[in-house]
């Protein structure tokens, strides 16, 4: 049997615990929103969400690992004040352990926009182009080497939309876990193996070396939460060399691509809307940007090593 990372036997995510899994599965499939509109929570003031707004967002993050808040501000204004508000908004939901990223600005969030030819090291990285992004969780290469902390949550705020395209597909990792386990529990065992997915060492443009990242696709953290790291990219990814892993990866890819998954949502975030999530699986479609620089697509992104906190009124 494949060796899996230590998970308490009482956890619903332990592949041997069918009883707890069934209970959790039943709750999850009933609690999960069935249309993307259910993810949206209007928020009047980012810097101090009301109790009701807060509760709605926390409940969604518990049920679906994500919520889309909507400030209603469609003006497209990019300001240091907005970045400050976003950071305090995220902190309100427990997101405080923010990643330090090579592309972050003074306000410590990362701008997701098309980079010009002169900009390095951004230029050449797909997120900073108009090209589509395949399915991934953020920072999937941040796992399993010294000093690194996995990305477990993210805020992605839309300041301005593209002229056309730039939609996101979203899928709660818990749902992929359920589909894989229902298909074949051995798929879960394979994807929980400590050597399931390896990203080789990488040399940054500034000469710094990012070490090899080897780890599972699914893992359970000290608080008992299920986490996922994944990329659909095939270049620079080494999957464990066995038949079950190959089949599990093919099944997962097909699940993401087939269009049959009812909980897979496609959204086009409006200016003033943002995704607050426990690092859910996502894509971005290709887009056409505006001509005028001040109208071009812009998102702010913050990534965190901790997760969205649990709602206070509901026991864990």
List residues binding Fe ion (CB under 5 A).
138
7 or 281: whose CB is closer to Fe ion?
Answer: 281
| In the complex, least distance from residue 146 CB atom to Fe ion, rounded to whole angstroms | 24
Cis peptide before 121 (omega within 30 of 0): yes
27 or 125: whose CB is closer to Fe ion?
Answer: 125
71 or 137: whose CB is closer to Fe ion?
Answer: 137
Element (H, E) at 180: helix 173-183
| In the complex, least distance from residue 21 CB atom to Fe ion, rounded to whole angstroms | 29
| In the complex, least distance from residue 45 CB atom to Fe ion, rounded to whole angstroms | 27
| In the complex, least distance from residue 279 CB atom to Fe ion, rounded to whole angstroms | 9
160 or 189: whose CB is closer to Fe ion?
Answer: 160
CA 266 vs CA 30, 66, 68, 142, 303: distances in Å: 20, 13, 12, 26, 21
Q: What is the rounded distance in angstroms from the CA atom of residue 158 to the CA atom of residue 76? A: 9
Residue with nearest beta carbon to Fe ion: 138
Parallel, antiparallel, or unpaired for β 197-199 and 66-70?
unpaired
Q: Which two tokens stand for residue 239?
A: 């999957």
110 or 240: whose CB is closer to Fe ion?
Answer: 110
CB of 66 closer than 8 Å to CB of 170? yes
70 or 138: whose CB is closer to Fe ion?
Answer: 138
| In the complex, least distance from residue 312 CB atom to Fe ion, rounded to whole angstroms | 29
Q: What is the rounded distance in angstroms from the CA atom of residue 144 to the CA atom of residue 126? A: 24
| In the complex, least distance from residue 138 CB atom to Fe ion, rounded to whole angstroms | 4
Q: What is the rounded distance in angstroms from the CA atom of residue 75 to the CA atom of residue 249? A: 42
Q: What is the rounded distance in angstroms from the CA atom of residue 89 to the CA atom of residue 93? A: 7
């Amino acid at each position: 049997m494949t060796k899996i990372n230590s998970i308490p036997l009482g956890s619903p995510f332990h592949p041997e615990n069918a009883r707890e899994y069934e209970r959790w599965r039943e709750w999850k499939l009933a609690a999960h929103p069935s249309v993307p509109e259910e993810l949206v929570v209007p928020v009047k003031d980012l810097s101090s969400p009301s109790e009701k707004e807060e509760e709605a967002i926390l409940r969604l993050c518990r049920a679906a690992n994500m919520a889309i808040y909507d400030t209603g501000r469609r003006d497209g204004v990019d300001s240091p004040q907005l970045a400050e508000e976003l950071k305090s908004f995220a902190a309100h939901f427990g997101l405080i352990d923010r990643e330090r990223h090579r592309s972050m600005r003074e306000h410590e969030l990362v701008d997701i926009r098309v980079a010009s030819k002169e900009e390095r090291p951004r230029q050449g990285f797909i997120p900073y182009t108009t090209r589509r992004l395949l399915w991934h969780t953020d920072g999937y290469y941040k796992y399993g080497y010294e000093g690194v902390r996995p990305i477990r949550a993210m805020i992605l705020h839309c300041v301005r939309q593209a002229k056309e395209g730039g939609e996101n597909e979203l899928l709660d990792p818990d749902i992929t876990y359920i589909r894989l386990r229902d298909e074949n529990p051995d798929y879960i065992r394979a994807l929980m193996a400590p050597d399931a997915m390896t990203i080789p060492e990488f040399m940054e443009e500034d000469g710094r070396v990012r070490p090899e990242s080897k780890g599972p696709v699914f893992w359970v953290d000290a608080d008992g939460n299920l986490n996922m790291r994944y990329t659909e990219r095939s270049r620079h990814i080494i999957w464990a060399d066995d038949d079950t892993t190959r089949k599990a990866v093919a099944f997962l890819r097909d699940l993401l691509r087939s269009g049959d998954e009812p909980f897979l949502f496609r959204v086009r975030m409006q200016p003033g809307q943002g995704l607050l999530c426990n690092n859910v699986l996502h894509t971005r479609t290709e887009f056409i940007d505006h001509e005028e620089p001040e109208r071009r697509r812009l998102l702010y992104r913050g990534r965190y090593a901790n997760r969205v906190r649990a709602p206070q009124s509901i026991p864990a």
